Structure 1
Amino acid sequence: MAKAVLVTGATGFVGSGVLTRLVESSDTKLLGLVRTRGAQLPINVLPVLMSDEGLMGNVPLQGVEVIVHCAARVHVMDDRTSEPLSEFRKVNVDGTLNLARQAVAVGVKRFIFISSIKVNGEGTKLGVPYAADDDPKPMDPYGISKMEAEKGLQQLAKETGLEVVIIRPVLVYGPGVKANFQTMMKWLSKGVPLPLGTVHNKRSLVALDNLVDLIVTCLDHPAAANQTFMVSDGEDLSTAELLSRISGALGRPARLLPVPVWLLELGAAIVGRRDVARRLCGSLQVDISKTRELLGWAPPIPVDEALAKTVKAFQANKNG
């Protein structure tokens, strides 16, 4: 394994998961790029303070062999900025490429870029998953910015010899998950009836532990260099199945009402929330066969075990 690894977005959901895993499993020197002094990092991780210019400034990279780049301007629901694509580009494209060029200048060997499935698009036909080498078709500013960053990194790799590894996660869940996944757990824990009993789509998800395991695999796997990988739990679930399994982990019955999908979609359209209906009712599947075959990797944590761990942390936080 590399002698020194820098993780950006070190206090974020994925970045902190990577550092925690590496602290537990290696004696590699670990550095975490943070925005503020006193940021809470796992023990034995050296904080590296980001300059006032953020990712456009200079980052001390001397001695670092691998960068795991998790920091990003993430997808923002109801983004009200006047030029959202420009805002995404500042961090996700310009900041990423600035960091990568600095990495080249000091001899960093490998740059692992945590991208997004949104590079591929917003959804798939049932049973027709996205593959790692499909042509990108991003539909929103966030996905476009991630695609542009990928292309810039790939060009830099050709020009300089920097090894670039691109990983496109689907929705990531695990202990401490926020946003829609946390909201679902709150509804189910309260026994709120949900009109999703007839939603028989298929969606790929990835547990944080499984994503982190792949990232760690890519730190030094020779076959990972200059490749793009999909990652998931290896088991796709419908929205109704996911809610039922979360309810089971919560120890509560799932109260799923059999409302027709067309009616859900119509209601969402009327209130201007087609995007919500798409996520709840549409399919989004990924094919991880390239990841399995090229790296000899398989998701180590089954879905039900990962959901149980997520729910346990949710309940502990709620009770606390």
Structure 2
Amino acid sequence: MKHDWIINKSDLVLITGANGFVGSKVFEFLIEYGFTRLRCLVRSNRNLSELHRMADSSKAEVEFFQGNLLSRDDCMHAAEGVSIIYHLAAGVEKSFPGCFLNSAVATRNLLDAAIKEQTLKRFVNISSIAVYSNEKIPRGGLLDESCEVDTKFVERHEPYTYGKAKQDEIVLEYAQKHNLPYVIVRPSVVFGPGKPKITDRIGINTFGIFLQIGPNNRIPFTYVDNCAEAIVLAGLRKGVEGEVFNIFDDDLPKGREFLRMYKRKVRRFLSIPIPYRAWFFFCYLWEKYSKWSEGQLPPVFNRKACSVYWKGNRYSNRKAKELLGWLPRVPMKEGMERFFVYMRDMEAKKH
């Protein structure tokens, strides 16, 4: 509701990574909510046609700024006069230095520019639920905002998640040192049209056959529209400064249920169900061989990552519902149906 928002609709809002999978939907919701001054920081001019179309069909004044967050000058320009920053840009490189540079260093540059702006009322940092450690959580235990953040990303062999965790650390540092008004949003597995992939939390296709790992696990999904609206509300709602929100949809499907529907509605392929404990033991053997080979075989399959992705936890979206007033607009069944239609169309284009 309008009186719950920290800014007016005419205040300037910055979206980094606005032409990304989630960023474009954040842009769409801000337009829908009636915000009239938007600045979109993009690294390249690709995928801008739909954003231009939405901007042209609205009354919003939209600035598309092609820049690089590693450039302090670009950050100063991007942050000038803004009231809210939605920071969705992140490093997606497959190396630790690359992700540190394009997530952590880029975020620090943006924050240095942001804290100089007297107009800034909130910085919304987009993280990931993958930053949590579930080492101390039993199978079937609840993973929520109170859980510990992992510190062993090198052992997990996960540059992207390492970059996200470092990004969070920097935001907390600036909140302490510079009184930065912030909210951290940690989406779960974001899915929907535009992202043509079955999440690894269901299984992997590394060995030429699909291995369905932990088939009875609930998959922590959030449909892209639902996720984007939660992010928008995290920037607007009063009284949530310094909070962390995990974003999960309702009615999360089990991996085997999702895969069964996918095969029926998109395409059929061979898959083998692998119990979690069997895969955990395989990861143990892989680590042993990696150590024996002195790293010639990288430990890409390891017990730390296995636990995070396939141990099988319960998930709660209660905090986001209560404090943000968020409800998933798109029910899980409808979201999956939209995704299956999209994937079926993608498969048809291959032939």
Q: TM-score, normalised by structure 1?
A: 0.80
Which residue, 36, 46, 51 being the options, matches 2:63?
46
Are 1:211 and 2:227 counterparts? yes
Select which of 214, 217, 220 maps to 1:201. Answer: 217
Structure 2 residue matching 1:311: 3-state secondary structure: helix
134-143 or 267-276: bigger deviation: 267-276
How far did 1:273 drift? Answer: 5.9
Structure 2 residue aligned with 1:129: 142
CA contact (8 A) 2:245 2:319 kept: yes
What is the percentage of aligned positions where both structures have the same residue?
24
- Structure 2 residue 301 is matched with structure 1 residue 274: yes
Shift of 1:176: 1.0
8 Å Cα contact 1:233/1:299 also seen in 2: yes
1:226 aligns with 2:242: yes
Residue 51 of structure 1: how far off its partner (Å) = 4.3
Which runs of structure 2 are paired with 1:3-42 in the superposition (5 Å)?
Answer: 3-37=11-45, 40-41=48-49, 42=51
Aligned partners of 2:69 and 2:75 also within 8 Å: no
Q: Is the 8 A contact 2:189 2:199 kept in 1?
A: no
What's the offset of the Cα at 1:199? 2.3
- In 2, the alpha carbon distance for the partners of 1:315 and 1:56 equals 44
Alignment of 1:101 with 2:112, yes or no, is yes
Secondary structure of the residue aligned to 1:136 is coil
Contiguous gaps of at least 5 residues in structure 1: none
Distance (Å, rounded) in 1 between the aligned partners of 2:75 and 2:212: 49
Q: In the alignment, what sits opposite 2:58?
A: none
Deviation readout 1:248-287 (Å, 9 max, x if unpaired): 554x779765665555555666677635866774325432
CA spacing shift, 1:201–1:161, aligned 2, 3 Å = same
In structure 1, the residue corresponding to 2:14 is in which secondary structure? strand
The Cα of 1:241 is off from its aligned counterpart by 1.9
Deviation at 1:246, TM superposition (A): 3.0
Name whichever of 302-311 and 55-64 sits farther off: 55-64
- Gaps in structure 2 of 5+ consecutive residues: 1-7, 56-61, 154-158, 287-298
Count of residue pairs the alignment pairs up: 308
Match for 1:134: what amino acid? C
Counterpart residue number, 2:98:
87
Q: Distance in 2 between matches of 1:39 and 1:234?
A: 30
Secondary structure, aligned partner of 1:235: coil
Indicate how the Cα distance of structure 1 residues 111 and 249 shifts in structure 2: closer, same or farther if over 3 A, else same: farther
Judging changes above 3 Å, is the alpha-carbon distance between structure 1 residues 138 and 168 closer, same or farther for their aligned structure 2 residues? farther
User: Secondary structure of the residue that 1:113 maps to in structure 2?
Assistant: strand
